[in-house]
Amino acid sequence: MTKKILIIGSSGQIGTELVLKLRQIYGNENVIASDIRKGNYEVMESGPFELLDVTNKDDIHEVVKKHNIKQVYLMAAMLSAIAEISPQRAWNLNMNSLFNILDLARDKIIDRIFWPSSIAVFGPDTPRIKTPQVTIIKPATVYGISKLAGENWCSYYSKKYDIDVRTIRYPGIISYKTIPGGGTTDYAVEIFYEAIKNNSYMSFLSKNTTLPMMYMDDAIEATIQLMQSDAIHKYTAYNIAAISFSPGELALAIKKYIPNFTMHYKTDSRQKIADSWPESIDDSQANIDWNWKATIGLDALVKSMLQGLHYNF
Ligand code: SER
């Protein structure tokens, strides 16, 4: 029987595109999508889907057994802005889901895990420019605290139970197939919808708030490369980087294609979260260990987003 892959959180922003790419590589029937809600039409139509609550250990066991799952990508999580509103719920979801999957590896039921971390692990004491992979890591958000705790638990399980768990610290991810929900970097996706619809956008981050960002194709590439690599150090939460830009710079890049576009600014509580995160990331370790290098810059990202959203220019 073929070893199969389970994506948990397949209706989310990254999960959606991960399923589609993995199905291209490993075959539709070998990649099982799962989420607490149904998602993207392409995902639902192209292969198996299971309705699954990731906090329910027994249900996960059942799905894993039913499909002979050997690899799990755990993409379900509550993001930074929403987590500030419901700290306890965020902690429970982000942590319990991880334990459920780590335990499957400890019990040798599955043999590889992908678990995403985030630039949110870094806090106000961290160097903000070209933030190194190993540095002062004291997150200032509920989401960041859960991601840092998760990194530590992955490291613990990896050493204590000799399991294979792999982690990337994602920057803000930009894509058009599925919108992100509840994150601080979401402005950089919303802006495209509003630019096309209304020729204007009200940014909830200030004009000069620079954050590390990445186009979805690069993020998917990095994820799959890491999972396929034989050269990684276990356990390492890898920094990855592509581009850094501010709302002001993104607005200018969009104006090139939509000349009438105007940007306005009205910051809210998300500004404080963004202010605690790095401006740019040093990903040299990922480059050394598994040859990682991003390929999509700001102009290509803008063009691809507008094309993806069927804007004619
Ligand atoms: N994009 C995420 C957020 O804004 C960061 O990991 O919450």
Count up the domains in the chain and report the number.
1
**Nearest Cα to Cα of residue 47 among 16, 75, 19:** 19
Q: Which amino acid is located at 192 in the chain?
A: F
Q: Burial level of 313, CB count in 10 A (0-12/13-18/19+)? A: exposed
**Residue to mutate (ligand 1; options 169, 184, 270; most atoms within 8 A of CB):** 184
Q: Whose CA is nearest to atom 3 of ligand 1?
A: 183
Q: Note whether residue 244 is domain-resident.
A: no
Tens of pLDDT, residue by residue over 202-257, are 999 999 999 999 999 999 999 999 999 998 888 999 999 999 999 999 999 999 99
| pLDDT at residue number 178 | 93
Please tell me the distance between residue 185's alpha carbon and the centre of ligand 1 in angstroms. 6
For 47-71, how does the pLDDT look when each residue is reduced to its tens digit (9 = 90+)? 999 999 999 999 999 999 999 999 9
Q: Are 143 and 78 in contact (CB under 8 A)?
A: yes
Q: Average pLDDT for residues 261-267, to the nearest whole number? A: 98
Measured CA to CA, the distance from residue 22 to residue 193 in angstroms comes to 27
Ligand 1 in reach of 172 Cβ (< 6 A)? yes
156 is catalytic: no
Regarding the beta carbon of 184 and ligand 1, being less than 6 Å apart is answered: yes
- From the CA of 143, how far away is ligand 1's center (Å)? 8
The residue written with tokens 């540095």 in the block is 135
Residue 16 located in a structural domain: yes
Residue 28 predicted with pLDDT over 80: yes
pLDDT of 10 > 90? The answer is yes
**CATH number of the domain where residue 51 is located:** 3.40.50.720
- What per-residue confidence (pLDDT) applies to 231? 84
Q: What is the mean pLDDT of residues 94-111?
A: 98
Nearest CA to ligand 1 atom 2: 183
Give the pLDDT confidence of 111-169 residue by residue, as tens digits: 999 999 999 999 999 999 999 999 999 999 999 999 999 999 999 999 999 999 999 99
Domain that includes residue 90, residue range? 4-119+137-168
Catalytic residue among 143, 187, 215, 235: 143
CA-proximal residue: ligand 1, atom 1 (nearest): 172
Asked if the structure places residue 46 within a domain, the reply is yes
Average pLDDT in the 180-193 region?
Answer: 96
Per the domain annotation, does 37 fall within a domain? yes
State the closest ligand 1 atom to the C-alpha of 80, by its place in the atom list counted from 1: 7
Whether ligand 1 lies within 6 angstroms of the CB of 185 is answered as yes
Whether residue 313 is predicted with pLDDT greater than 90 in this model: the reply is no
Give a yes or no: residue 272 inside a domain: no
**Which DSSP string corresponds to 126-163?**
S--SSB-SSS-----SHHHHHHHHHHHHHHHHHHHH--
Mean pLDDT, range 65-89, rounded to an integer: 97
67 found inside a domain: yes
Whether pLDDT at 310 is above 90: yes
pLDDT at residue 233 in the model? 86
Asked if residue 98 is part of any domain, the answer here is yes
Residue 12 within any structural domain of the chain: yes
| pLDDT (0 to 100) of residue 181 | 87
Query: Which percentage of the chain shows pLDDT scores above 70?
Result: 99
Written as six digits, the tokens of 296 are 């999509």
Label residue 1 by pLDDT band (50, 70, 90). low
